[in-house]
């Protein structure tokens, strides 16, 4: 999943939104998705929506308590 997150980020940065969407969908159904990979998936899903002019909200990310441990992923998400 981590490598797929890098791939999706590259697609997003180059404006290839349909390819990014496909990779994000594959990551979403991946069994055993770790916490950090899940957070970065949420960042990328939010970025994908922003690039399409919409808003994407994840309940887990919205209710998280910000600490030094999770600050970096949540800053990107917001």
pTM, 2 dp: 0.79
> Which whole number is the average pLDDT over 31-38?
84
Q: Please give the share of the chain, as a percent, with pLDDT higher than 70.
A: 81
Torsion angle defined by CA atoms of residues 66, 72, 25 and 47, in that order, rounded to the nearest 10 degrees: 100
User: 58: pLDDT confidence band, cut at 50, 70 and 90?
Assistant: confident
Burial of 76 (0-12, 13-18, 19+ CB in 10 A): middle
Is residue 49 classed as helix, strand or coil in its secondary structure?
helix
> Which whole number is the average pLDDT over 12-39?
91
């Amino acid at each position: 999943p981590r490598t797929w997150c890098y791939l999706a980020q590259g697609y997003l940065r180059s404006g290839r939104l349909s390819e990014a969407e496909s990779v994000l969908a594959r990551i979403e159904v991946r069994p055993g998705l770790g916490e950090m990979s899940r957070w970065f998936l949420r960042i990328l899903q939010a970025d994908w929506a922003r690039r399409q002019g919409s808003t994407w909200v994840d309940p887990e990310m919205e209710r998280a308590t910000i600490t030094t441990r999770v600050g970096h992923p949540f800053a990107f998400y917001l």
